[in-house]
Amino acid sequence: MNKKWIILILLCVSFFAIGSVGAANLENYDFDGYFTMNVPGDVSFEKEINDTSENGFDMVNAAYMSENIVIFYMDSPTLSDNSSVFIYQRMFEQLNPGSDKCYESQEGNLTILESTSGGGALFFHALSNYEVTKSYISDTNEDLILTYKVIQKHPEDLIDELNSIKSKFDDGDYEGRKECYYKIRKEFNKLKDKLNYKKYSKEHIPQAAYLIFLNKTCFNGIYRVNSKGYFNVPMGRYKNPSIFDEKNIYAISDKIQNTTIKNDSYECYKNLIDEKSLVYFDPPYRPITETSFTNYTKSSFNDDDQKKLAKFYRDIDNKHNHNVKLILSNSDPHIRDENDNFFDIELYEGFNIKRIPARRYVNRNGDGRGPIKEILVRNYKNKKDLID
C-alpha cells in the first residue's frame, strides 16, 4: 500500500501562523483530487506535479506554491517515516557570540576537520581567525564536494559559467525564468548519471555552477533529493535572486587552496585526527517532529546512524585521552519532549552539552518558527563555562 504525506510549510514572513490562521476566512481547497485542505480563501497556488511509475506502482510528487504557503504532497510505496519535508535554517553565529570563543588554538597550530560540511561556517571561521596548518572537509553529498573542488581549482571558469546562466535567467520574465530553472534542474540531474565524481576534471565546472544556481533560485534554498538521488525542489518565488557573489567565490578559493576535500563520511578522519585537531560534526539533524526532513542524499540518516556517529565521537575522545577538541551540533529533542534524553543520556552523557539559540525561518507549525534551541556537544569546556 502506498504511503501518502501532505506537508504544509508556512514561510516565516507570513502571519499565517497556526495560532492566527483561525481568524482568516478558510475554504476547503481540492488539490487535484489528491487531497483537500482548509486554506485561506484568498490564496492561489502554482503547482508542479510529477507522476511516475516504478516497479508497477504509481508515484506522485507534487508541490503547490503561493507567496506564503508551500505544500508538498508525496504518494509512494517506498516512503519511509522520515521521507517527508520539514525545512529550517540555522544561524551559526550563535555558536560563537562576541569574544566567547568556542575553541582555542593549541600553540598556534591547529588541524581542523569538518564532517558533513554543508556551508562550512565554522570551517571558514577557523581558517580566517586561527593559524591552521592542516584542514579537511568532507561530505557524503557528492555534488557539494564537487562544487568545493571546482571553487578550489577553477574559480574563474566557474564564475564565467555562472555569469552565462545568470544572463539567461535575468533576461526572462517569470515564465522565461521558470523555463530556465527547470531546464537547468533537468540538466543537473542528467549530469549526475554521467560524471565521474571520483576523478576531478574541468567537466565538473557546469555541474558546480548548476548547483549554485539551483541553491539560489529553488524554493527556500532547500537541497532535497528523491530515492534515486535526483534533485526535485521546485523553483522559488524571488523577484531578483542573487545568483552568486564573485568576490566570495575568489575568497573561498583562496582559503581552501591547501584543504583536502573528500566525498566521504566522518569515518575517513579516523587516522587523520591527532591531539592538535579540532573536529566539528554537523550531521543531518535528528527529527523533532514527524515531518522533519533528512534526505539531503538518497540515503537518509536515522537513529542508528546517530548512534554510530556518537560511538565514533566517544572512541576518538578516548583514543586521544580527551586532548583532541570535538564539537557536534544537532537538534534539541527537549523541544518535542522534555523527557527525551536520546542525546543527553543515551549518546553523549559525560560530555559538555549546551543548548544554544538558533533560528528556523520555515516551519509547518507557526510555533516552530523563530528562535529555537539546538544542542552543542563538546568534549571540553571553555573558561566561560567554568565561570558560569
Which tens digit of pLDDT belongs to each residue from 145-162?
A: 999 999 999 999 999 999
- Same domain for 101 and 129: yes
- All three cell numbers of 234: 521546485
On whether residue 253 sits in a domain, the answer given is: no
Residue 14 is assigned to a structural domain of this protein: yes
The residue from 76, 103, 123 where one domain ends is 76
Q: Are residues 188 and 271 in the same domain?
A: no
- Is residue 258 a part of any domain in this protein? no
Query: Is-contact 381 353, C-beta < 8 A?
Result: no
Structural contact between residues 220 and 234, judged by C-beta atoms closer than 8 angstroms: no
Within this chain, do residues 125 and 100 fall inside the same structural domain, yes or no? yes
Residues with Cβ within 8 Å of residue 140, at least 6 apart in sequence: 116, 263, 264, 265, 297, 299
DSSP β-ladder status, 46-54 and 370-378: unpaired
* Residue-level pLDDT at 32: 75
Range of the domain at 10: 3-76
User: Residue 271 has what pLDDT?
Assistant: 85
Cβ atoms of 333 and 286 closer than 8 Å: yes
275/365 same-domain check: yes
Nearest-angstrom CA–CA distance, 325 and 122 = 14
Same domain, 222 and 285: no
What pLDDT is attached to residue 133? 82
Angle subtended by helix axes 174-194 and 205-217, to nearest 10: 140
> Whose grid coordinates read 580566517?
128
Same structural domain for residues 29 and 68?
A: yes
pLDDT for 25: 58
**301 within a domain of the structure (yes/no):** yes
- Residue 252 in domain: no
> 305 lies in a domain?
yes
Beta strands in 145-287 (DSSP E): 259-262, 277-281
For 65, residues 6+ apart whose C-beta sits below 8 A from its C-beta are: 45, 46, 47, 48, 219, 234, 237
Q: Is the domain of 159 the same as that of 123?
A: no
Q: What is the CATH number of the domain that holds 361?
A: 3.40.50.150
Which segments in the chain show pLDDT lower than 50?
1-4, 6-24, 54-55, 76-109, 291-295, 361-370, 383, 386-388
Give the count of domains, the chain.
Answer: 3
Do residue 241 and residue 282 come from a single domain?
no
User: Helix, strand or coil for residue 29?
Assistant: strand
